[in-house]
Amino acid sequence: MEHLDDQERQEVWANIKDALFNDHIDQFRAEFLELHPYDQARIFEGRDVDVRMQIYTYLSPEEVADFMEHIDYDEVEPFFTEMDPRFAAQVFAEMSADDAVDIFNELDKAKVASFLTIMDGEAAEEIKDLLHYEEKTAGSIMTTEFVVVKAGMTIKEAMVHLRTEAPDAETIYYTYVINEDKRLVGVISLRDLIISEEEWMISDVMNERVVSVSVGEDQEEVARMVRDYDFLALPVVDFQDHLLGIITVDDIMDVMEEEASDDYSKLAAISDVDSPDDNAFASAKKRLPWLIILLFLGSLTASLIGRFEETLDKVAILAVFIPLIAGMGGNTGTQALAVAVRGIATGEIEKQGKWKMMGREAGTGLITGLSCGILITIIVYIWQGNLFLGLLVGLSILLTLIVATLAGSLVPLLMHRLNIDPAVASGPFITTVNDLISILIYFGMATVFMNLLI
C-alpha cells in the first residue's frame, strides 16, 4: 500500500462513492479495504453523517476499529455517538484496549458505562482494568495484549505458544519471560527464538537485563526511555515486578505528539490548544485566564512607569526607548525560556547540569547584551547627539538582556524543582515579567544619572 496525499484520496473517494450510494457492497468493500487504515480514516472523517452511517452498514466492527485507531481519540466521540450502541460496543471490543481507553477518557461517564455493559465480557474487563489507572501514566497508555513465556519452557514449547497467542498480541518482536510467580525475569527477541535450537531452555537464551517501567511512571519519562534505548516496546510492572502490560512505540508517538501540543499551548499562554471545532466562546474560555493574569501584570508595568513620571518630565526623550528596551528583554527571555523548557523535556539539562546551563545562558546574555548595547549606543548618539543618553540606553540594554536571559532559564528550572510543569512559565508570562525588570533598570539608571542627561 502506498501513501496517498489529499488529492489522491479525493480521487479514490470519487471512484468508490458511486458503489456506496448504489448499494454495490462488494465493489465498495474491495476498493475501500484495499487502502491503508490511515487513508481509510482520512476519507471517512471527511464525510457527512449520512455517508458515514452508510459506511457502517457495509463494514464489520473489526474493519471500522482498524481505521478508528488512526483518528485522534479526542475527535471520535461524534462517530461513536451516531453509531448504533451495539455496533459501537463491538467496535470498542475489536480495538486495542489502550486505544479504547484513550477514547473512553474523552466520553461522558454514562456513555462509557453503557458501552461497557453491552460489550463482550472479556473485552470489557480488560478495558475496565486500564481505566483505573491515572491519566498520563504508564498504566493508562499500556496494552494488555502481549505474549509471555515461562522461563522453564523450551524453545519449541515457546514457539508453539507464540503461534497460538500471536494473532491477538499487539507486537511479538519482544517476548517477555516470567517465572512461576508471574514476575518479569527476562526478555527474548523474536530473532533469538527463531535461531535457537528447539531443545534449549528459555532461561538459557533470554536476556535477564530487561528494562521496565513502573505502572505509575509519567508518560513523558516513558517516552524518553523508549527514545534513549530505541525500544519497540517497554514492559510495565507493579512494585513487585509483576508484568502488567506493555507500551509500544506507536503509543509513544501519540504521547510525544500530545505532550508537544500541551507544551505549545502553555508556551502560548493558552490552557489548552484551540480546536478548529471550537466556537468563539470555547476559544475565549481557554485563553481568558492567562490574559487576565497578564492584564494585572501589565498594570504593574504601567504603575511602575507612573512612578518615574518626574524623570520623564525632565527628559521626555526617555519615553521613546521604552518599547525598545522592554521588547528586547521580552524577546531574549522567551528565547532562553524555549531552550530551558526543551532541555527539561528532553532530559538534556539533567545530563549537562543546571549550573552549567545557567552559566552558558549568562554568557549568552552578556555577549548579546554587549553587542546590542554598543550598537544602540552608537545609533542614539548619531541620532540625538547625546553621548550620555546613548550610554544610558546601551547599558540598560546590556543589563536587561543579561537579567532577562537568566530569568527565562531560571523560572522553568524553579518550577520544575517544585514539580510544576515548566511550560506553565509561558512566553507571554516571561515577556511581561521582563517588561517590569527592564523598565525598572532603565528608569532606575536614568534617575540616578539625571544630572548627566540634562
Identify the weakest region by mean pLDDT among 272-276, 378-382, 403-407: 272-276
Q: How far is CA 198 from CA 177, 186, 188, 205, in A?
A: 17, 19, 14, 11
Query: Residue range 42-57: average pLDDT?
Result: 90
Q: DSSP secondary-structure letter at 153?
A: -
**Beta-ladder partners of 373:** none
Q: What does the pLDDT look like over 80-100, one tens digit per residue?
A: 989 998 999 999 988 888 888
Query: Residue range 277-299: average pLDDT?
Result: 66
Identify the weakest region by mean pLDDT among 100-109, 158-167, 195-204: 100-109
- Of residues 333 and 148, more confidence is placed in 148
- pTM beyond 0.85: the answer is no
Tell me the three cell numbers of residue 84: 448504533
Calculate what percentage of the chain has a pLDDT beyond 70. Answer: 83
Residue 143 φ then ψ, to 5°: -115, 150
Query: Residue range 273-298: average pLDDT?
Result: 63
- Of the pLDDT bands very low, low, confident and very high (cuts 50, 70, 90), residue 262 is low
DSSP 219-279: HHHHHHHHHHHT-SEEEEE-TT-BEEEEEEHHHHHHHHHHHHHHHHHHHTT-SSPPPTT--
Residue 61 φ then ψ, to 5°: -55, -40
**Beta-ladder partners of 263:** none
Name all domains of the chain by residue range, CATH numbers in brackets. 6-141 (1.25.60.10), 148-251 (3.10.580.10), 280-453 (1.10.357.20)
**Mean pLDDT taken over the chain:** 81
Q: What does the pLDDT look like over 303-351, one tens digit per residue?
A: 766 667 676 666 677 777 777 887 788 778 877 877 777 777 666 666 6
Cα–Cα distance, 336 to 427 (Å, whole number)? 10
Q: What does R_g of the chain's alpha carbons equal in angstroms?
A: 30
Q: What does the pLDDT look like over 431-451, one tens digit per residue?
A: 777 778 888 888 888 877 777
What does the pLDDT read at residue 337?
Answer: 77
Asked whether residue 44 carries a pLDDT value surpassing 50, the answer given is: yes
- Of the pLDDT bands very low, low, confident and very high (cuts 50, 70, 90), residue 274 is very low
Q: What does the pLDDT look like over 96-124, one tens digit per residue?
A: 888 888 888 888 888 888 888 888 778 88
